[in-house]
Amino acid sequence: MISFNLLILVSLAYVVFLFLVAFAAERRAKRDSGQWLRNPLVYTLSLSIYCTAWTFYGAVGYAARSGFEYLTIYLGPTIIMIGWWWILRKLVRIGKTQRITSVADLISSRFGKSTVLGVLVTVLAVVGTTPYIALQLQSVTQSLAVFAAEPGSGWDGRDFDSAAVWIAVGLAVFTLIFGTRNLDVNERHHGVVMAVAVEAVVKLFALVAVGVFVIWGMAGGVAEMLARIDAAVIADWHPVPHRWVGLIFLSAAAFLTLPRMFQVMVVENADEKHLATASWAFPLYVLIMSLFVVPIAVTGLALLPEGSNPDLFVLTIPLATGNEGLAILSFLGGFSSATSMVIVATIALATMVSNHIIAPIWLSSTQKGAALSGDVRGVIVLSRRLSIAVILALGYLYFRLSGGGGALAAIGLISFAGVVQVLPAMIAGIFWRGANRIGAGTGIVIGFVIWAWTLFLPSFGAGAVLSEFVMAEGPFGLAWLRPYALFGITGLDPVIHAVFWSIFFNTAALVILSVLTFPNPMERLQGAQFVNVFEHSAGARTWSQGAARAEDLLVMAQRIIGHAEAQEMFRQEARAQGIDGYLPEVTPELIGRLERTLSGSVGAATAHAMVGQLTGSAAVSVEDLIAVADETAQIVEYSNQLEAKSAEQDRTARALREANEKLTAISIQKDAFLSQISHELRTPMTSIRSFSEILREGEIDAEARGRFAGIIHDEATRLTRLLDDLLDLSYLENGQVQLDVGRGTLASVLDRAVMAAGLSDGRLVLHRDAAREAVVIETDLERLAQVFINLVSNAAKYCDAARPELTIRVSGDAEACQVDFIDNGTPLDADAQVLIFEKFSRLADESKAGGAGLGLAICRQIMESLGGEIAYLPGQGGPAFRVTLRRTVRMAAQ
Amino acid sequence: MRGARRIEYLERDTYRQRRLRDAARILPVFATVLFFLPLFWDWQAAGGIRPSVLIVYLFGLWAALIALSALISHLIRFSDTDESDAPTEGDDG
């Protein structure tokens, strides 16, 4: 038989072991900044504080009473964990960027750093969690009682309550030592987390050990166990749909909102990536935890006498079968479950109470500037320690007053239903920018009141708080307000009934009031920061007109976060501003950073209030918000402009490159032309000179003299024409040309051009369409004819087809008319198309044609001065030119 | 800054990551539906449904979800450069 002293000894040894683990973790963290502790496995194990003594002992009792319904308590968190990408990832990110210290801080910070909301959530959390702490104390004393009831335990019948006192005191000591080491809650509580992780392993191991014992030790295998289950009372179980769905929802919601879960999941999270591991490892943990529950329950029901408390089967089965070692292990498992929950819950609640209730009261009770004169750090630490003691005392008090009765699971669910009133505000807060303080606050109050009326107050028993008359007939005989049947709905289980109505009205109030009322600028600012946390993780900005002196801020910061850290922070800030020493300029950035740092210690609302005391400008105006939006818009605009500019520069560079290539080509052409024109000038000059020499010698007949004079004349004419062309072009280019505008049909101009082009030899076949050419145009007809002559004669000269043909095609609309000259020679290649309109350009070996390569250049100049254009028209099967005449000045005839 | 630049089509690797995120988002939805499934079973049928069937179904489903979640979280990346979650290629943010 296990003597009571042995049990106490084992428990003490275990507690000492936990203290050592916590100390070692703290030391280790100090030495290498906790790298080794920043481990996804430790994180996952720390999440297991979800499984409290209620789970460890209570789940078996739950299964014995309500079959498989106990699974809902694990399925909810499983769904949340495998859906981590939705909510948890966002919560953790927000927790990091906004330095959130608790659920209350999250809600308060999101809704404009509201003190009132912080207080509300804190009160809700304390009321919801205190019974739960009592429950843990109760479970430990009950498990002690089981051992005491064993014959020969040496238990002398002392008051069990003294055990509860000692447990509470022990937990308080542990929590005080390891829970308030750092003022900044965002700095991890390595000792606590490590101890919790170790306890997670112990409780899992203990439950698995008992499970393995009943399956293989007693039933004799899995198949046999399943057969026993099928034969047991549990076989009659069938799910009650509204409870199944409602409890899965409740447990999922509680998983997110329970203060202790938020503490380990968000506040103590060291690395977002740990979530990825926890997303499967935590469901695996709870799967194993719940796997053996039914076998243990079934075995207990069969083995133990009628009327045994099924909540304690985990202990009583090993004891009844004489496995004392297993019983002690199981006791330690339950002890671990209870203590880890109490420690973390107490830290979480103490942070809330001290940041959201004590600190604001202290701040407002002292005069302005208290942040400078008072010992802030000392006050905060003291308030947190006091809070821990008070919360544990409250838990103990509740335990004493409630008399330690009732099924464990019932209290657990009531507690869950209370804390999930935060859920609508939390979810709306991180996904809906429109949610505001008034909506969230009213929703929480309404939800809290409904929960208290329909579940919490009745839970003390009929006649305890609410009279039996009220329970049966409703207050003042109003039947529709009966606690278990609001609006006359009686078909629901009380827990689900309470959860449904409280969450329904909570959410409705949140949505309706958020839609109808207007948030203040701080709320809108924080709303954007929270909802769009993945877009700008830079952290919140605070606005201030900078009335504070940097020195004051430094003094205050030193009092809260410590001398060395504050000085380091200020020096960094100063360095960033390019200033030597410790005192930077007071900029909005500095104040924002300071406020964020402080909020890690005292919560966002308090930090904001403290900084506000110094800077004297706690208010943010809509103008400030819009200014920030403008600033952002300006940055976007500026970057767009830069992009546009750079694209424009690209275009310019490309154009310049092209121009350069063209210039180079023209320069080569020009060189070629100079030799060409020298040649052109020299050839007629040579013949003029030689023939004039012959004429001077005079010994020739009259007929020959006439012929020679003719040659001289022709050559002189050719020279004149060349010089005329050059002169003409020069005039056109300088815009000195005088236009002689007249009216005539296009056909007449074309006729004249064809005639003047000298197609007398009849080699070139012309295709024209007289009907289309009957267009009256108003322009300088002479100049236009010059262009046409050039094009027709070019076709005649250069067309290299065996049977040269030229098609003149006229098309057009009200705006412009196009005249295309298409012959059937070899089309120009791309290079030639570009150069053909340049001066002095002429296609390579066509010099025989006798022109100087000025024709098309002149044409282009003429068309420009006429307000039209001439261009090469590719893709016509031969060289083709399009002359476009604008009709803006000239009117169409028909 | 949203809106300034929206990438419409993604590279193969990034595309795969986006689809993994979709998978991570949809998994809890399937989990919920499947966990509710036993409610539709015919519990009133002659002889009822043996608890062992429910045990195998629920725990089997649970284990499968854990495995899938482990697979997804193993493959998924917390890409720090692309945290904007801009809605491109069917990614709705």
Q: Which domains does chain A have, with CATH numbers?
A: 4-403 (1.20.1730.10), 410-539 (no CATH), 541-620 (no CATH), 625-733 (1.10.287.130), 741-886 (3.30.565.10)
Using the Cβ of A277 and the Cβ atoms of chain B, whether some distance falls under 8 Å is answered with yes
Residue A790: other Cβ atoms inside 10 A: 22
Angle at A763 between CA A757 and CA A768, to 5 degrees: 65
Closest Cα to residue A42, out of A261, A254, A192, A238?
A192
Are A798 and A836 in contact by the 8 Å Cβ rule? The answer is no
Cβ contacts (< 8 Å) between A226 and chain B: which residues? 52, 55
Kindly state the tokens that stand for A217: 């030790």
pLDDT above 70 covers what percent of chain A? Answer: 87
In three-state secondary structure terms, A894 is coil
pLDDT in tens, A70-123: 899 999 999 999 998 889 999 998 888 888 888 999 999 899 888 889 999 999
For residue A291, the chain B residue with the least C-alpha distance is B59
How much is the pLDDT for B1? Answer: 40
pLDDT of residue A441: 93
Handedness of CA A402, A76, A107, A39 (dihedral sign): positive
Nearest chain A residue to B76 by CA distance is: A276
Name the nearest CA neighbour of A248 among B38, B36, B66: B36
- Sheet holding A869-872: strands in order across? A765-767, A805-812, A816-823, A880-886, A869-872
Question: Residue B7: which residues within 8 A CB-CB, separation 6 or more?
Answer: B86, B88
Q: Would you call B27 and A82 a contact, using CB atoms and an 8 Å cutoff?
A: yes
Q: Are the beta carbons of A230 and B31 separated by less than 8 Å?
A: no
CA distance A805 to A810: 16
* Residue of A80, A241, A280 lying closest to B70 (CB–CB): A280
Q: Residue A23: phi, psi to the nearest 5?
A: -60, -45
Q: Tell me if residue A764 falls in helix, strand or coil.
A: coil
Radius of gyration for chain B, computed over Cα atoms and rounded to the nearest angstrom: 19
Q: What span, in angstroms and rounded, lies between the C-alpha atoms of A603 and A375?
A: 17
Residue type, A278: A
How many angstroms away from the CA of B88 is the closest CA of chain A?
15
Q: Which one-letter amino acid corresponds to residue A326?
A: L
Cβ atoms of A26 and A347 within 8 Å: the answer is no
First to last CA, chain A: 125
Interchain CB contact of B46 with A (< 8 Å): no
Of B24, B28, B54, the CB nearest to A79: B28
How long a stretch of residues is chain A?
A: 894
Strands A816-823 and A805-812: antiparallel
Residue B62 forms contact with A (CB below 8 Å): yes
The per-residue DSSP string of A30-74 comes to HHHTTTTT--HHHHHHHHGGGS-HIIIIIHHHHHHHHGGGGGHHH
Chain A residues near residue B36 by CB distance under 8 angstroms = 244-245, 248
Encoding tokens for residue A849?
């044609």
Sign of the Cα torsion A11, A13, A14, A16 reads positive
Nearest to B66 among A84, A86, A283 (CB): A283
DSSP string, A340-356: HHHHHHHHHHHHHIIII
Report the residue of B41, B55, B84 to disrupt the A interface, i.e. the one with the largest count of A CBs within 10 Å. Answer: B55
- What is the token pair recorded at A448? 């809290």
Contact of A282 with chain B, judged by CB distance below 8 Å, is answered with no
Given a cut of 50, the residues of chain A with pLDDT beneath it are 407-408, 537-546, 618, 845-849, 890-894
Chain mean pLDDT for chain A: 81
Calculate how close chain B gets to A284, using CA atoms only, in Å.
7
Q: What is the pLDDT of residue B61?
A: 94
Contact A82 B43 (CB under 8 A): no
ipTM (interface predicted TM): 0.86
Instruction: Provide the pLDDT for residue B86.
Output: 44
Chain B residues with beta carbon closer than 8 angstroms to that of A235: 48, 50-51
Name the token pair of A857.
Answer: 């250049």
- Does the beta-carbon distance from A276 to B65 stay under 8 Å? no
**β-bridge partners, A506:** none
- Residue length of chain B: 93
CA distance A279 to chain B (A): 7
Domain regions of chain B by residue span: 12-75
CA A452 to each of CA A456, A469, A481, A881: distance values in angstroms, whole numbers, following the listed order: 4, 17, 13, 93
Interface contact flag, A81 B69, Cβ < 8 Å:
yes
Among candidates B32, B36, B54 on the partner chain, residue whose Cβ is nearest the Cβ of A68: B54
Give first-to-last CA distance, chain B, whole Å. Answer: 14
CB atoms under 10 Å from CB of A348, counted, come to 28
Residue segments in chain B with a per-residue pLDDT below the cut of 70: 1-8, 46-48, 79-93
Angle between helices A103-110 and A423-431 (to 10 degrees): 50
CB contact under 8 Å between B28 and A80, yes or no, is yes
Instruction: Answer for the pair A22, A195: CB distance below 8 angstroms, yes or no.
Output: yes
Per the DSSP assignment, residues forming a β-bridge with A882 are: A820, A871
Contact flag A85-B25 (C-beta cutoff 8 Å): yes
Q: Given CB atoms, is B51 within the 8 Å cutoff of chain A?
A: yes
Joined together, the tokens standing for residue B2 give: 């949203």
Q: Provide the H-helix boundaries in A218-309.
A: 222-231, 241-257, 259-262, 274-291, 293-303
- Residue A234 DSSP symbol: G
Residues of A in contact with B54 (CB under 8 A): 68
CB of B38 within 8 Å of a chain A CB? The answer is: yes
